[in-house]
């Protein structure tokens, strides 16, 4: 989160702060990823003074010129309201791809999950270039590592043995064509 706080500061975008002894910028990720995971189309809510007056193209260009390598701002949507907004309540779930699993115990756990789907968690095993790749559909705002592997092992140790990428966040229940999570849905 610190990278994003600093980027908005450097871009001189007037972010609102919490009140109290130790004020923090009002920023919220929808179901934030753990360190070591990658994601596409992640959603960040930022409370900005005068946000409705920002030029979308200039703001995105400024943020992308200042953000650390590996991060890219692709869109900006303004929600002009005086009410407190939280976007997490609209989250239906996430879709992940797990690949390059280097530990046989982890492969066994994933294979077991393939054969025991539930309403909250579904795992499918595919093959890409002869190597197993797992697609995980998880309902709600849950921690993937704890939910999937149910282990006390350090998450960084687990993540060093595989690649996890969140393909998308979705709204509502998962269906054949899930609705991608987008702020546009809430402002139209």
Residue ranges per structural domain of the chain: 2-66, 89-180
Query: Over the stretch 113-140, which tens digit does the pLDDT of each residue have?
Result: 999 988 889 999 999 998 999 999 999 8
Q: What is the pLDDT of residue 188?
A: 47
pTM (whole model) above 0.75: yes
pLDDT digits 0-9 by tens, 140-165:
888 899 889 887 788 899 999 999 99
**Residue 177, CB half-sphere, CA atoms under 13 Å: how many?**
0
Residue 86: partners with Cβ closer than 8 Å, 6 or more residues away: 28, 45
Yes or no: domain 89-180 corresponds to CATH 3.30.70: yes
Residue 50's alpha-carbon distances to 4, 28, 29, 120, 167, in angstroms, are 19, 18, 20, 39, 32
């Amino acid at each position: 989160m610190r990278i994003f706080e600093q980027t908005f500061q450097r871009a001189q975008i007037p972010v609102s702060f919490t009140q109290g002894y130790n004020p923090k910028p009002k920023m919220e990720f929808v179901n934030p990823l753990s360190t070591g995971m990658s994601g596409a189309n992640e959603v960040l809510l930022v409370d900005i003074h005068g946000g409705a007056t920002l030029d979308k193209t200039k703001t995105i260009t400024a943020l992308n010129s200042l953000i650390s390598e590996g991060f890219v701002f692709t869109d900006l949507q303004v929600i002009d309201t005086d009410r407190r907004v939280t976007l997490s309540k609209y989250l239906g779930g996430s879709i992940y791809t797990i690949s390059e699993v280097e530990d046989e115990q982890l492969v066994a756990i994933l294979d077991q999950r393939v054969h025991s789907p539930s309403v909250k968690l579904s795992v499918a095993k595919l093959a890409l270039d002869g190597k197993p790749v797992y697609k995980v559909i998880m309902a709600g705002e849950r921690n993937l590592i704890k939910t999937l592997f149910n282990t006390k092992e350090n998450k960084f140790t687990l993540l060093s043995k595989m690649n996890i990428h969140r393909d998308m966040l979705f709204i509502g229940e998962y269906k054949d064509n899930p609705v991608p999570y987008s702020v546009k849905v809430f402002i139209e």
